[in-house]
Structure 1
Amino acid sequence: MGYKVKNTNKFMASLRKTGNSQSEFAFKVGVSPQWLSSVAHQRKCASKTLATLISKEMNVDLEDIFLNLGVALVETKTNNSVDKTETKEEIREWKSSKLETTKQ
Structure 2
Amino acid sequence: MLANELAAQGKLSADQYQLWRRNNDWYDANYTNPTHVDPDIYDPRVNPGAVAWFKVSAQHLIKRVDWYLELLASHGVEFRRLESSNPGKIIYEDTDQIVVIPTEQLSRT
Q: Same fold (TM over 0.5)?
A: no
Higher-helix-fraction structure: 1
TM-score (ref. length: structure 1): 0.30
Look at both structures and tell me which one has the larger radius of gyration over its CA atoms: 1
- TM-score norm. by structure 2 comes to 0.30
